[in-house]
Structure 1
Amino acid sequence: MNDAILDAANRHFVSNYFEARQKFRDYVAEAAVGQPGFYPSPARGPGGDPLSTDIAWFGDRQASKVGVLISATHGVEGYCGSAAQLDWLAERGYEELKSDEAMLLIHAINPYGFAWDRRVTQEGCDLNRNFIDFAAPLPQNEGYDALADSLMPSALDGPIFASAEATIEKYRATHGEIAYRKARTSGQYRHPTGMFFGGFGPTVARQTLERIVSDYSIPSRQLVLIIDYHTGLGPYGYGELQCEQASGMTGYQRARDIFGHSVTSPDLGTSSALVLNGTQDDYWQRLLGDRHVYVCLEFGTYPPEAARPVLRADHWLYAYGQAQIQTEFGRGVRRRVKQHYYPDRADWKEMVLYRTRQVHRQMMQGMRA
C-alpha cells in the first residue's frame, strides 16, 4: 500500500457531513487563492443544526474553460465525493490552472441527504432523477407501478412482507433481471414515498445547483467539464466513468477523448447503470449542449441487490415509522445506509483516491486539449 495515499485518506475521509463541511471550508481558506461561498439550506441536520451547500471558485472568473466537481448528489454518497474534493485541494490542484481556466467545487449539493445519511433530498426525491422538464409529460414507469407496494411494503416482516417478496420474485422470473432493475431504478414520478422518486417539481437541491450555475455564469463558458461523484454500483472500489443517455453518443465520444477508453455508456450497454430518467446530465445537456462533458464517477461498494433491503428500510422509516427516526432503530437504519454507500475501509478509500487523482489530472489536461 502507498503510505502517502493512506495518510491522505485518513485526513480526507470523515465521519459525518458537519466534519466534511468544516474541512472543506478550512482547506479552501488554507489555499488562500480560492473564492469561497455557501448556499444555506432550509433543511436541518439530525441535531437541528443548519445545513448548506458550500462552493469554492479557483482561477479566472472570466475563464472560458471551467471544471466543476460536485459531491453528494445522492447525499450519503458524499463521503466519497467530499474526500475527492478535499484531496484535490490538499494536492493544490488549483496551481495547475492556466490563465483561461477555472475550477468550481460544489460541496454537498444535497446537504440534507449527506447530513442524515440518506440518498434522497429533504423532499424524499432522488436528485439524480429530478432534472426532467416538469412542463412536459412525466416519464412513465409501468414496471415500478406494478411493484410499488412490494418494493415499499407497509411492514418489514410478517405476512405483508412475505407477500411483497413473493411478488418481486415472480416479476423477476417473468420479466427478467434487466426489466426488474429498470423498473426499480430508472426513476418514477407517481409514488412519493417510494424508491428512486423523481419528484413532482424541482427540488431545493436542484434549484441550488441552478442558482450556482447562474451566479457563476456557467452558461456563457466555451467548455465545461463536470465530474459528479457517486457510489454503489460496480465492482468494489472501482471508479467507473459513466456517461448518461442525455448526451448521447456524441457526449460519450467527447468524454472518451478526455478520459480514455474506460468511459462507459448505457447506450452501448457497457455501463453498470441502466438508462435513467432525469439525471443531472439532462440539465447540463439542455444548458450547454456540446460545450460540456459530463461524467458520473461511480465507485462500487457492495452488490446492488444488497442495497434493496437497506433502501427499503430507509424509505419505510420515513413513510411509516416517523416516530422512530430519532430512536436507536432509526439510527441503526441510517448506519446501514452509510455502511453500504461508504465502506469505511482502508483499501476502498485508497482505491478512491488513486482513481480520483487520475480523473482529476485527465480533467485538467482536457481543459487545454
Structure 2
Amino acid sequence: MNFDIAQQTASVVFSDAYLEAREKFVAAVPGLRSYPCSSKGPSGGALFTDVAYFGGPDAKRLLVLVSGTHGPEGYHGSAAQLLFLRAKLHENLPPSTAVLFIHALNCYGFAWNRRSTAEGCDLNRNFIDFSKPAPPNPEYEHLDEHFVASDRTEAGIRRAQAAIAEYRKLHGEQALRSAKSRGQYTRPGGLFYGGAEPTEARRTLEQIVADFDVAGRDNVVIVDYHTGLGPYGYGELQCEQPSGLEGYERAAKIFGPSVTLPDLGTSSSLNLHGTQDEYWQRILGARHTYVALEYGTYTNPKILSDEHWLFRYAPDAVDSEMGRQIRSATKRHFYPQRSDWNEMVLWRAHLVHRQALEGLRSGDEPVRNTVR
C-alpha cells in the first residue's frame, strides 16, 4: 500500500459501530455463513458472528483470521479483515491453501462496546478445560474488591488505589500485573473472569471449527486481532504459553524476529490462563501457529474497572447516559478513532496478512476460489 491508498482504505474499512462493521463485511462477502447470538444489541437488534471461507474445501493449509475476541477490539479486527478482502489476497490461492474469516466472535461485546461476553467473561480466559479444576489465582481474590471497587466516591477510589499501591510495594509490579490479568475463576463480575463453563462465544467458535473441519487440516495459521496493550499504534505479534517455545519458533519462521513470547521476557503480555491458543493447541497441537496481533492504544487503568463496575453494580444503568459514557470511553480506549492510529495498524496488518499467506504457500498453481 502506498500513502494515498492507506489513507483512502482507512476511511472505508473502519466503522463507528458493530452494525456498520457487520454491514460492510456482509456486503463484501456474499454467501457467508452467520451464527446468531442469543443476546441483543443496545437497540434490540440481532447480533451475529459471520464467517466466510475462500479456497478449496479440501485445502490442507488454512489461514484463520479472528476479529472481536474482546468486544471493542473488533473495530480494528473488522477493518483488518476488510483490508484483506480489498487487497484481494484471497484471490488466486494455491489449491493447498484456504482462508477462514471469523468476524465479530464476541459480537455481543462488539455491539455493546464491552470487552467481556454477555456472561461477563473474558473470552480469552474462557478456553480452559472445564472438566478439570480451574487454575487458582488467590492473589486476585484478595484484590478484587479494590480492582472493581463498589464505592465510586472519591474516598472509595482513594482507598482502592491505596490498597493496590500497597500490594505493588510489597510484591512488585510484575506480581500485581499477573494477579490482575492472568485470569481468575472465582469472582464473577471481576476483571479477567474466565467463567464457570464455556461461553456462548466459545461454543460458537467450536461450532465454526467443526463446520469447516479446521481440526482436519495439516497446517493452520491463526491471526487473532487485539488492541489495548503496548506502544501506541504498534502491532506486536504475541505468541502464548500453550504453544510453548515450539509454537514461538513456528511463528518466528513465518513472521520474523519481531514475534514475542512471555516466557522469553519479550512480550508486553504475561502468561495467561484459558487463552484462545490453549484451544488451538488442544485440537491441533504442532499443526497450528497462533499469534495475537496486539496493537497499543493508551494507558488508562480505570477503563476496565469502570466497565466492570457498571455491569457488576449498576446493570440497570448500562444504557443510561452514565452507562453510555462509560461504554464510549471503553470504545475510545480500544479504538482510538484517530487517522494516524488507523493508518499505522493497517500497514502492519497488511504485512502480517502477506507473511501468513507466504508461510502457508505450497507453490501450487492458483485455482478459482469458492465461497461456502
Which residue in 1 is equivalent to 2:245? 249
Which residue in 2 is equivalent to 1:174? 170
> Please, which of 322, 330, 333 is the counterpart of residue 337 of structure 1?
330
Q: Deviations over 1:187-236 (max 9, x none)?
A: 00000110100000100000000000000011110101100000011110
Amino acid corresponding to residue 123 of structure 2 in structure 1? L
State how 1:150-161 maps to structure 2 within 5 Å.
150-161=146-157
- Paired residues in the alignment total 361
Instruction: Provide the TM-score with structure 2 as the length reference.
Output: 0.96
In structure 2, C-alpha distance between the alignment counterparts of 1:238 and 1:17, rounded to whole Å: 24
1:201 paired to 2:197: yes
State how 1:95-134 maps to structure 2 within 5 Å.
95-134=91-130
In structure 2, C-alpha distance between the alignment counterparts of 1:20 and 1:137, rounded to whole Å: 38
In structure 2, C-alpha distance between the alignment counterparts of 1:348 and 1:326, rounded to whole Å: 28
1:355 paired to 2:348: yes
In structure 2, C-alpha distance between the alignment counterparts of 1:336 and 1:161, rounded to whole Å: 18
In structure 2, C-alpha distance between the alignment counterparts of 1:13 and 1:102, rounded to whole Å: 25
In structure 1, C-alpha distance between the alignment counterparts of 2:260 and 2:312, rounded to whole Å: 35
Amino acid corresponding to residue 338 of structure 1 in structure 2? K
Q: Quote the sequence identity (%).
A: 52
> Please, which of 317, 321, 324 is the counterpart of residue 317 of structure 2?
324
Listed as ranges, the gaps of 5+ residues in structure 2 are 363-372
Which residue in 1 is equivalent to 2:181? 185
Amino acid corresponding to residue 90 of structure 1 in structure 2? R
Which residue in 1 is equivalent to 2:132? 136
Which residue in 1 is equivalent to 2:32? 36
Which residue in 2 is equivalent to 1:81? 77
- Greater relative CO (CA pairs within 8 A, separation 6+): 2
Q: Deviations over 1:134-180 (max 9, x none)?
A: 11111111211110111111121243322111111100111100000
Secondary structure, counterpart of 1:19 in structure 2: helix
In structure 2, C-alpha distance between the alignment counterparts of 1:139 and 1:200, rounded to whole Å: 12
Q: Deviations over 1:256-280 (max 9, x none)?
A: 0001000000110100000000000
Are 1:96 and 1:364, in contact at CA under 8 Å, matched by a contact in 2? no
In structure 2, C-alpha distance between the alignment counterparts of 1:47 and 1:270, rounded to whole Å: 42
Q: Deviations over 1:65-118 (max 9, x none)?
A: 010000000011000000000010111111141111100000000000000001
> Please, which of 214, 220, 230 is the counterpart of residue 224 of structure 1?
220
> What is the aligned-residue RMSD (CA, Å)?
0.9
Q: Deviations over 1:279-332 (max 9, x none)?
A: 0000000000000000000000012xx1x2111111111111122111110000
Deviation at 1:7, TM superposition (A): 0.5
Which residue in 2 is equivalent to 1:32? none
Secondary structure, counterpart of 2:230 in structure 1: strand
Instruction: Provide the TM-score with structure 1 as the length reference.
Output: 0.96
In structure 2, C-alpha distance between the alignment counterparts of 1:322 and 1:126, rounded to whole Å: 18
Which residue in 2 is equivalent to 1:19? 20
Q: Which moved more, 1:213-222 or 1:93-102?
A: 93-102
Amino acid corresponding to residue 274 of structure 2 in structure 1? G
Listed as ranges, the gaps of 5+ residues in structure 1 are 30-34
Secondary structure, counterpart of 1:350 in structure 2: helix
Secondary structure, counterpart of 2:54 in structure 1: strand
1:366 paired to 2:359: yes
Deviation at 1:41, TM superposition (A): 0.3
Q: Which moved more, 1:319-328 or 1:206-215?
A: 319-328
In structure 2, C-alpha distance between the alignment counterparts of 1:163 and 1:262, rounded to whole Å: 40
In structure 1, C-alpha distance between the alignment counterparts of 2:238 and 2:289, rounded to whole Å: 11
In structure 2, C-alpha distance between the alignment counterparts of 1:280 and 1:96, rounded to whole Å: 29
